Amino acid sequence: MFCSKKKSLEVERIVKANDREHNEKFQYADNCIHTSKYNILTFLPINLFEQFQRVANAYFLFLLILQLIPEISSLTWFTTMVPLVLVITMTAVKDATDDYFRHKSDNQVNNRLSEVLIDSKLQNEKWMNVKVGDIVKLENNQFVAADLLLLSSSEPHGLCYIETAELDGETNLKVRHALSVTSELGADISRLAKFDGTVVCEAPNNKLDKFTGVLSWKDSKHSLNNEKIILRGCILRNTSWCFGMVIFAGPDTKLMQNSGKTKFKRTSIDRLMNTLVLWIFGFLVCMGIILAIGNSIWENQVGDQFRTFLFWNEGEKNSVFSGFLTFWSYIIILNTVVPISLYVSMEVIRLGHSYFINWDRKMYYPEKATPAEARTTTLNEELGQIEYIFSDKTGTLTENIMTFKKCSINGKIYGEADDDMGQKTDMTKKNKPVDFAVNPQADRTCQFSDHHLMESIKLGDSKVYEFLRVLALCHTVMSEENSAGQLIYQVQSPDEGALVTAARNLGFIFKSRTSETITIEELGTLVTYQLLAFLDFNNIRKRMSVIVRNPEGQIKLYSKGADTILFEKLHPSNEDLLTLTTDHLSEFAGEGLRTLAIAYRDLDDKYFKEWHKMLEDANALIDERDERVAGLYEEIERDLMLLGATAVEDKLQEGVIETVTNLSLANIKIWVLTGDKQETAINIGYACNMLTDDMNDVFIISGNTAVEVREELRKAKENLFEQNRSFSNGHVVFEKQQLELDSVVEETITGDYALIINGHSLTVYDQWFITLFNIVYTSLPVLAMGIFDQDVDDQNSMDYPQLYEPGQLNLLFNKRKFFICMAHGIYTSLALFFIPYGAFYNVAGDDGQHVADYQSFAVTMATSLVIVVSVQIALDTSYWTVINHVFIWGSVATYFSILFTMHSNGIFGIFPNQFPFVGNARHSLAQKCIWLVILLTTVASVMPVVAFRYLKVDICPALSDQIRRRQKAQKKAKPSRSRRPQTRRSSSRRSGYAFAHQEGYGELITSGKNMRAKNPPPTPGLEKTLYNSTSWIENLCKKTTDTVSSFSLDKTVKL
């Protein structure tokens, strides 16, 4: 349960392999992790400290202390103790439940097993027991237990493949490779057990892409970088086994360093409630001061006259001291104006909503059997207050599954043709796919429908051949054959996989590579090219090039990259072809395709040798190595000859358009984060319907510094204000929106304010009634409404996303609503007191006896209050369930049961001092006049609310009111829902593709370290799915407009 931590701040880490005794001197953290907030010893103090940060809880604790002082206590201590303990207990149970699941998750992770080299033997050890310096064995598809220095693997040169989705969300495989001196250790347990290298490296930090260190072994030192490290959270892929030395464990791993400490999170509702409670407390203090002053005046003018009869000692009680004591007495009496019960109601409602989230079948993902999971119940209501969504593009909005769709070769587009009307059409939709059956090594999942390209290949078009050669040679793809003899590609980027697969299907098949050669099959003939240099991709270059020597002895530079970069490197003779290809790229971008430019250059043998010698010298440098190499790359990648461009489709995920449209209609602003260039970003905006043709102006904000971006935003804002003061289009919104709370809050506050009307020396309500009112009589109806109530059904919630806006705009619960509730509570309190008071004034009961005694008056008021609150909740309930009925009417029945019990002979016999008023309830409620007073009080309290709401719905209905009216009309008429015919729409989209993937593995390829010695287990190829887009946006927008204006029954579209 308890995990060790570092006791001193590290400057650097020194780790010796296979020497636990040596490493323990540094008191490094072990591999036990904990994301929980509490343990058995710390739960009570920490949780209580957090709970008493709430103003209401702290206030009631202070109040409880006051009630222990006899001179000022007008209520017994249990009236405060019982609700406070209940609130604290229920919140603590909820927090403990949340933390229990964190402990459960931690224990599951900590008890995973890994093979650890101990005493020259591999032993299964729990992750929590793995220590710094241990040597761990990983097998294929296993999670990495700690941050490891890779020592050796089953692949040549200590190479291994890892998936880092848990760290950065990327599913593409990444390569790590061991030092040559340690890769020789292989799987020899005896040699690994004798390995005693010492690593001196950086202290624990959260930088996932950086590692610096030095391995000292056998009287030599070897520098270490991030390529030698496998981080915790990664998964070993396509590698049978590997061995690694633990450098960082548990909380010191980079994954946990990025996790941060579990914090006590407070929602907007909690912060607002704390503010409101402070206001309420201020109001309470003011009332106490006013009443204390009144008491002092009364004591000074009238109270002295009672001294003769009460035998007070002289000086024992003066008017000022009496007012001081009365102030604290009223603070205690009026304590129920502070809504402590509201906090526990909110906690229970949050817990109930979290279960609804977990049980929601519409949020269940059947493909991976994954349900929705609310990991914390603290922030549920924040889901109704979202203003901004930040989303990645690749793999989130898109499937990250690339398909080769079109290309432009030597000024001609392949992938489209003219139809009968002379208009260009998409070949993939008009013609049958090309039959690749003649190519036994073709990928059957890849489809291409333009037969003209196949004809050009058959005619021997040299430009087409050269174009396909570039696709087959210029990449970092690794090839292998599975047990069935099928060619399998391991790709760093899905874009590369799509292009190499396209060349493969068209007859230029990438077969294999070594550190010095690339072998491809050109139309059935094996051709081996000598690999002379690999000019790798990075985010600055945005291009990749290879320099090869063909069998004829010619040296060729083949390059592919972003068109904006590559076009600057072209020879001036390409001007005409450049213009034509640029037009083609614009067409491709308009269709939402990701584009790459393709070019080549013939190199002179002498020139290349001189350039290669300079490259070798630059690589040998220690200082400014990268700058010198980049300059040499720039020098040789010039005067290129343009071949054409490729167009690859990255399909949108299923449901993206519908989701983005609904979010936009709900006034949620969406930011898409992408490394693509501006044109691609704009295209994605149009493709996802974030940008539409209805938008009058789209502002492009571009800047290299925060100051520049802020300045451009300011100018855009000024421009927008000048054009449209109303922000009706909604491309840019600069208002701060706030929060949402269920209408239950209003009613809870209303009930709390209507609790108590006090006299001078004792409360009108019985003390047990005060204690039980919020706990028993009114708690369950409030919870039932908060958990189960629906203003509109789920289908209408999806059909009308504008229903989300009240939560953003803080319309359901705010300071104005608070003051309205406060006024409502004051009015209800006055009605509850003065109507019975006036009715009982000098009035006799049915039996001729006076009914204006203290207990009869208290029973009448208490009964009226319980009925008023229950009726109020019933009026506010829109969606009735059996539970609502049981809780509301059951609470009323419970009140009467407890009332008659407390006034019975039996309870008096057991507790005579606590329940002295025997038979009062039975006597009072047996009289007709009492029930008439209760009825009159209830009607007077409820009717203003009913009248106001009726007029509001009739004169100025909200969107939810109009939809509820439609729902009721539909239930009565039960019409059949009809679908509108769907029509397609076009969009003026523009696009480009910036070749945005991570830096490649050119150095590994040329070193030969990633060449496999044997075939690994088969892996599936690129998965292709067809995305069928349907045009339904106009119907949705039209329907929404119609709904707001008329809400006629025939204008519905089901999403």
Would you name the residues annotated as active-site residues?
A: 392
Pairing of the two strands 135-139 and 113-118: antiparallel
* Identity of residue 708: E
Beta bridge partners of 595: 647
How big is the chain by its Cα radius of gyration, in Å?
38
Backbone angles phi, psi at 82, to 5 degrees: -60, -50
**Residues forming a β-bridge with 566:** none
3-state helix, strand, coil in the chain (%, to 5): 45, 15, 35
Query: Burial, 365: exposed, middle or buried (Cβ in 10 Å; 0-12, 13-18, 19+)?
Result: exposed
Structure tokens at 84: 């406070």
- Helices 779-788 and 882-902: angle between axes, nearest 10 degrees: 170
Q: Specify the 3-state DSSP secondary structure of 393.
A: helix
Residue 685 has φ and ψ, to the nearest 5°, of -60, -45
Instruction: Give the Cα separation of 319 and 328 in Å (integer).
Output: 15
Neighbouring CB atoms inside 10 A of 60's CB total 22
Q: Report the alpha-carbon distance of residue 673 to residue 465 in Å, rounded.
A: 37
Integer distance in angstroms from the first to the last C-alpha of the chain? 49
The set of residues, in sequence order, having a beta carbon less than 8 Å from that of 393 and lying 6+ positions away, is: 672, 673, 674, 676, 684
What is the Cα–Cα distance from 206 to 82, expressed in whole angstroms? 47
Contacts of 322 (CB under 8 A, 6+ apart): 295, 296, 299, 303
Q: How far apart are CA 373 and CA 356, in angstroms?
A: 10
Of 309, 148, 288, the residue nearest 231 (C-alpha)? 148
Structure tokens given for 379: 């922030």
3-state secondary structure of 763: strand
Half-sphere exposure of 587 toward its Cβ, with a 13 Å CA cutoff? Answer: 21
CB burial of residue 119 (10 Å; 0-12, 13-18, 19+): exposed
Using CA atoms, how far residue 23 sits from 19, 30, 32, 110, 195, in Å, is 6, 11, 16, 21, 15
> Are 72 and 328 within 8 A, CB to CB?
yes
The burial class, CB within 10 Å (0-12 / 13-18 / 19+), for 882 is exposed
**Do residues 215 and 196 lie in contact, with contact meaning Cβ atoms separated by under 8 Å?**
no
Pure H helices in 506-624: 563-566, 575-590, 605-619
Say if residue 659 is exposed, middle or buried (CB neighbours under 10 Å; 0-12, 13-18, 19+). Answer: middle
Question: Residue 517: CA atoms inside 13 Å, Cβ hemisphere, count?
Answer: 10
Within 10 angstroms of residue 948's Cβ, the number of other Cβ atoms is: 11
* C-alpha to C-alpha distance for 887 and 882, rounded to whole angstroms: 9
Q: Which stretches within 754-849 are classed as H helix?
A: 767-772, 779-788, 794-799, 805-808, 815-840
Nearest to 399 by CA among 475, 495, 485, 313: 495
Q: Mind giving me the DSSP string for 824-841?
A: HHHHHHHHHHHHHHHHHT
